[in-house]
Structure 1
Amino acid sequence: MHLATLLPLLPLVAAHSTLQPRQSNWPACQSTISCNFWDIESATMQSRLDYMQYMQATHFAPLNASTRFRAIEGVIMFFLSENLGAPGSWVSAVDAGIIEGIQSGAAQALGQQVAVSAPPADNNPGIDVWAQYYAGQRAPGGYPTRQTHDAAWGEAEATSTEWAKEQVADAVQTATRRELNWYEFTKLFRWILRNEDLTILLLRPIFLTRADDFVFWLTDTTRFEPALCGSQAAWAISGTLTFDLEGIVSLPANVIDLLRAIYDCGSDFIEEEQS
């Protein structure tokens, strides 16, 4: 299925809460990028998408990161398309940890006060790793290669995401099978970001001369389409998507099927880049 068929009018996520209500500074905290985890968690997905776009257009410019989080936009677009991520849900908690890490890492890199979150969402370790990413992005010349940039981006995103899932979301409620399938895709995405050259070698027998273009399209964090396609493909899987990252080099059949579905979804964009 091509991406063009996956972009209907995206519905707003309905309000629903299973977490203890907390006082929120949203949206006042946005202008100073000082929202804590619970502020972000209280917001709708549409508000979060708007916030990610606002931060890139304003605060992230001095960090040379004005277009570096379109991949996160793609994930939120997916949540909107499936009516996922209402405040208080498992998806909401995972996503809030991701956005908090990106935002507060930027605040730290800019020398601003970093928002403090109440337990169990305190001490998001991704904040420091994102701050390190921004330091590299802001350095003269930025990252020396696309691969070093993507590895740093992937490490920071993994740190925030895995912490949010394990420390907060899993304590809220049990994720559904399809939500866990989506999460498995994100694990694969982050692994590929940190192992692009190896992934190209592994996929060359399958995608032949298209392997390079596919991998670099998939890991382009300045585009929303790859993350949206990947999320949609994982969501459409009828069974359970599981794999061991330590054994990923053996390319299990379910991983190959997922990557083929992502390629089919984004083939128009990939071929456009080749021309």
Structure 2
Amino acid sequence: MRAAFATLLACLLCLTAAPATASTTTCAGTLTCTAEDINGMTIAQRLEFVRALSAGPAAEVVPGHAPRWRNIEGVLEFFADRGLGAPGSWVSYVDAGILEGVERGIALARGDSTDTFGNPGATLWASYLTRLRDGRLTARSAHDRAWSEAEQSSTEYGVALARRVHGIAATPVEERFYQFSEFYRWTLRSRPMLLDPLTPPVGPGDQRQLTFLDWFTDVTNDVPARRGSHLAYDLAEFDVPGGTLNFLALFAAYSDALAEDYLAV
């Protein structure tokens, strides 16, 4: 009798835990998980989620293209390296806003739904994917601008989710690190059109990049994002006099620190 009761109790505990497990393993299939669901994921689960989005539903929208969010994978790998992004933290909610925007953008682009879940990045991600599919983002400057505008909108939504909805403010280090991420998106948006003739076009397989700028801003490569995030966080841990580093000085720092990785390509 006692053994039977123990077995029944164990089964009930399994049933109780099932919904949380299902929400993290089926999100890429249903495309209906909210930012709050994603906030409950570990960083390792989010990595699986992003990779599953790329290999599954996103590949249906833009078949043959390299994964579009490898640089986001690199940031998640950095979070795992540093033990950042625990559920309920400022980093977690900002990241959840980004990933929700990507997820809902794929759903919109695939025609599954018109619901953005209130995330303004969703429509921009949908537009990015459909334009990429239709061959309207082959120029690197146009591609990078569309990508960065979608991530910018999703990121700002995540920041608002953390601050206004959950009352969680960034620490000074997190705020400075965030400013460095703003620099990355600004670099994408500001890519000169004059460089397009010198750069392989965006397309299936995304040909090898030619310059450091091409490599540093390649959204299909996790290495510069992971290594760059480590450098940015190290710099953020110091309170630079006068505020955030000058953008040109920061890019020079990235160039020096990441040169070995770039040359190894």
Q: TM-score range by the shorter chain?
A: 0.7 to 0.9
List aligned pairs for 1:68-83, cutoff 5 A.
68-83=68-83
The structure with the larger Rg is 2
Structure-2 residue corresponding to 1:26: 24
Check conservation: 1:71, 1:227, Cα contact below 8 A. Answer: yes
Out of 264, 271, 274, the residue aligned to residue 256 of structure 2 is 264
> Which of 136, 144, 148 is residue 138 of structure 2 equivalent to?
144
> Gaps spanning 5+ residues in structure 2: where?
1-18, 196-209
- The equivalent of 2:154 in structure 1 is 160
CA gap of 1:85–1:232, structure 2 versus 1, over 3 A, is: same
Match of 1:191 among 186, 189, 204: 186
Kept in 2, the 8 Å contact 1:36–1:115? The answer is no
2:105 maps to amino acid: G
Using the TM superposition, give the Cα deviation of residue 63 of structure 1 relative to its aligned residue in structure 2, in angstroms. 2.2
Secondary structure of the equivalent of 1:108?
helix
- Report the CA distance between 1:30 and its aligned residue: 3.0
Tell me the secondary structure at the aligned position of residue 124 of structure 1.
coil
By how many angstroms is 1:58 displaced?
1.3
Aligned-pair distance for 1:259?
2.1
Q: Any idea what the Cα deviations from partners look like across 1:54-113, whole Å, max 9, x if unmatched?
A: 111111112225411001001101111110000000000000000000111001100113
The within-5 A match list for 1:124-273 is 124-139=119-134, 141-165=135-159, 167-171=160-164, 172=166, 173-197=168-192, 213-237=211-235, 238-240=237-239, 254-273=246-265
Aligned counterparts of 1:31 and 1:115: Cα–Cα separation in 2:
16
**Distance apart, 1:236 and its partner CA:** 0.7
TM-score by length of 2: 0.77
Q: How far apart in 1 are the matches of 2:125 and 2:157? A: 13
1:199-240 deviation digits (Å, cap 9, x = unpaired) = 98xxxxxxxxxxx82211111000011211221111111433
Q: CA deviation at 1:189?
A: 0.5
Query: Which segment drifts farther, 41-50 or 213-222?
Result: 213-222
Q: Report the number of matched residues.
A: 226
Distance in 1 (alpha carbons) for counterparts of 2:192 and 2:263: 20
The Cα RMSD (Å) is 2.6
1:100 partnered with 2:100: yes
Task: Report percent identity of matched pairs.
Answer: 36
